[in-house]
């Protein structure tokens, strides 16, 4: 009976996942968008954040070194950009994508427009949903986080980060769109570079912010579908024409 119960539960989970994917695909198929079902992951790094650690290192670098043979940090190395874990990995910007895919098993979708379907929105904070989006010859990181900025009042924060430099990020514009029950909500902005910290972007509120009641208006059985579109900025297009 125990074996049957476990197997039956796994089958029900699979059926539920396929049903959620089918509903999202049916809604957005008219626009020719790809649908990615993203399961939540409880963040394990909410102790001292990596941003604080980087800032501390920067402050310490101002002080004169105590030993002449002290190791010098390579400024070209980038810390792990995955916001889910306190990952000690460092590497060059061009290998960030392979690290995220191989170590953290983050899915990647290709296409100008995709649908990010986050499941189990009811789970307690802090919780993250994350995918990579390959578009226009670059890779982007979409992060959706459920977090309490005030105790007992969780909010949802969604932002797009370019796996590239801030100068490259200025060449693009991303749009996040929620559309359900004759309601539509859009957020459009320039993506931030992964060289900046996701925590800082969320703390500044420079992203799509939803309170719980607003998220429920756009959710369907605990899942939230976010349409994603990335375009080149007008300034970049004008420079290309010149």
User: Is 116 a residue whose pLDDT tops 80?
Assistant: yes
Give first-to-last CA distance, the chain, whole Å. 72
Q: How would residue 160 be classed by pLDDT, with cut points 50, 70 and 90?
A: very high
Average pLDDT over residues 165-192: 95
User: Is 31 a residue whose pLDDT tops 70?
Assistant: no
Share of the chain above pLDDT 90, in %: 41
3-state secondary structure of 98: helix
Q: Is 13 exposed, middle or buried (0-12, 13-18, 19+ CB in 10 A)?
A: exposed
Domains of the chain in sequence order = 30-40+74-232 (2.60.210.10)
User: What pTM was estimated for this model as a whole?
Assistant: 0.72
Tokens standing for 196? 């900046």
Give the model's pLDDT for residue 49: 43
């Amino acid at each position: 009976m125990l074996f049957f119960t476990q197997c039956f539960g796994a089958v029900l989970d699979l059926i539920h996942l396929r049903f959620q994917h089918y509903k999202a695909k049916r809604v957005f198929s008219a626009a020719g968008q790809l649908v990615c079902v993203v399961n939540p992951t409880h963040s394990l790094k909410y102790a001292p954040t990596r941003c604080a650690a980087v800032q501390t290192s920067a402050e310490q670098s101002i002080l004169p070194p105590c030993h002449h043979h002290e190791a010098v940090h390579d400024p070209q190395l980038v810390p792990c950009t995955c916001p889910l874990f306190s990952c000690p990995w460092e590497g060059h910007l061009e290998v960030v994508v392979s690290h995220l895919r191989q170590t953290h098993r983050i899915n990647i979708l290709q296409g100008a427009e995709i649908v990010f379907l986050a499941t189990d929105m009811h789970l307690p904070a802090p919780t993250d949903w994350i995918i990579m989006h390959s578009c226009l010859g670059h890779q982007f990181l979409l992060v959706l986080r459920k977090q309490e900025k005030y105790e007992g009042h969780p909010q949802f924060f969604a932002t797009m980060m370019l796996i590239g430099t801030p100068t490259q990020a200025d060449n693009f514009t991303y749009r996040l769109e929620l559309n359900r029950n004759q309601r539509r909500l859009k957020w459009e902005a320039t993506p931030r570079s992964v060289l900046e910290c996701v925590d800082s972007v969320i703390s500044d509120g420079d992203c799509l912010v939803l309170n719980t009641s607003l998220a429920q208006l756009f959710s369907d059985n605990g899942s939230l579908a976010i349409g994603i579109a990335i375009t080149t900025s007008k300034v970049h297009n004008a420079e290309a024409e010149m």
